[in-house]
Amino acid sequence: MLAIKNLTKSFKTRNAVDNISLDIPDGQMVGVIGRSGAGKSTLLRMINRLAEPTGGSIIFDGRDVTALKGRELLEWRANCAMVFQQFNLVGRLNVLTNVLTGRLYHHGLIASMFQVFTPAERAFAIRALDRLGMAHTALQQADTLSGGQMQRVAIARALAQEPKIVLADEPIASLDPMNAKVVMDALRTINREDGIAVICNLHTLDTARNYCDRVIGLFEGRVVFDGPPSALTEQAAREIYGAEADEAFSESMTSTTLKPAGTEVPAERLTEADLQQRARAELLAG
């Protein structure tokens, strides 16, 4: 379980994250929403310790993550995989090596320097890629991939870390709707099948609604909403996005609609017969 207590990150003029306290149980899929600059990224980066908090603490399974140093800090980063908006793959390495970098913490120094990986590690990496449907690109240089493909490789890298928790910082903000759906489906599958908690920064309300067990709304570094998606009323959304009461606010303004797999029949699965039946039904209805 991840427990965040009074977490604060101050910059010179303002608090990016302002006294946030949260408990995130194992295996939960959490969506963090809010406007850009609301502190979503800073929060996630502090959990992975890519950014240092100025106050408060992060406790994972009874261990204070904010106090970790040296080797223990690296171990924590390995346990807490991160997926970035810009994918953050090493462009000049091939896909397989990029996924294998997820093993670097566990890997010996000399073997790392000479880029020697064991057959077991390679097989594990290929399996991870296979789960994302990217195994066929294993030997391709990473910067030849499209954005959606890169993000899937980045998720495979996260899986290669055998993480206890996955942090996804705006994983779909740089993707087109189709790829965004593939990536969100992948994250949800990992969450469901492996029971790994996923904390996902999203700037779109509907994605959070459709994919997450729990939605946390941030506004100016503070939690202004915390609950199941069903409790996310228009009033709550207004507060999160800071829209004035008289301003028109529509959820669709925050983004494209993404529905998780299975909630609707995708268009390409419709057969000829389905279409005929639908046309007849429409005729009968007048």
- Closer by beta carbon to other proteins, 158 or else 202: 158
- Closer by beta carbon to other proteins, 101 or else 179: 101
Q: Is 113 in the site for other proteins (CB under 8 A)?
A: yes
Nearest to 167 by CA among 25, 74, 29, 18: 29
Q: Is 174 in the site for other proteins (CB under 8 A)?
A: no
- Closer by beta carbon to other proteins, 97 or else 207: 97
CB 63 within 8 A of CB 148: no
Please report where in the chains the tokens 């880029």 appear, as a residue: 115
- Closer by beta carbon to other proteins, 3 or else 74: 74
Determine the size of the site formed for other proteins (CB under 8 A). Answer: 36
Q: Which stretch binds other proteins (CB under 8 A): 53-61, 103-111, 235-243, 260-268?
A: 103-111
CB of 234 to other proteins, least distance (A): 36
Q: Is 61 in the site for other proteins (CB under 8 A)?
A: no
> What DSSP line would sit under 206-247, residue for residue?
HHHHHH-SEEEEEETTEEEEEE-GGG--HHHHHHHHT--TTS
Q: Which of 9, 40, 77, 214 binds other proteins (CB under 8 A)?
A: 77
Q: Is 101 in the site for other proteins (CB under 8 A)?
A: yes
What would the x/- binding string for other proteins be over residues 14 to 53, using CB under 8 A? Answer: ----------------------------------x-x---
Q: Is 165 in the site for other proteins (CB under 8 A)?
A: no
CB 258 within 8 A of CB 185: no
- Closer by beta carbon to other proteins, 89 or else 240: 89
CB of 83 to other proteins, least distance (A): 9
Binding positions for other proteins, 127-146, rule CB under 8 A: 141, 143-144
Kindly give, in sequence order, each residue whose CB lies less than 8 Å from that of residue 80, ignoring residues fewer than 6 positions away: 47, 48, 60, 163, 164, 165, 166, 167
Q: Which stretch binds other proteins (CB under 8 A): 22-30, 109-117, 171-179, 259-267?
A: 109-117
Binding positions for other proteins, 78-97, rule CB under 8 A: 78-79, 81-82, 84, 86-93, 97
- Closer by beta carbon to other proteins, 88 or else 276: 88
Strand-by-strand arrangement of the 165-169 sheet: 80-83, 165-169, 197-202, 29-33, 214-219, 222-227
- Torsion angle (degrees, nearest 10) of CA 232, 234, 239, 240: 50
> What DSSP line would sit under 15-78, residue for residue?
EEEEEEEEEE-TT-EEEEE--TTSSHHHHHHHHTTSS--SEEEEEETTEEGGG--HHHHHHHHH
Helices (H), 132-204: 147-160, 177-194
Residues within the interface to other proteins (CB under 8 A): 48, 50, 71, 74-79, 81-82, 84, 86-93, 97, 101-102, 104-105, 107, 109, 112-113, 115, 141, 143-144, 154, 157, 161
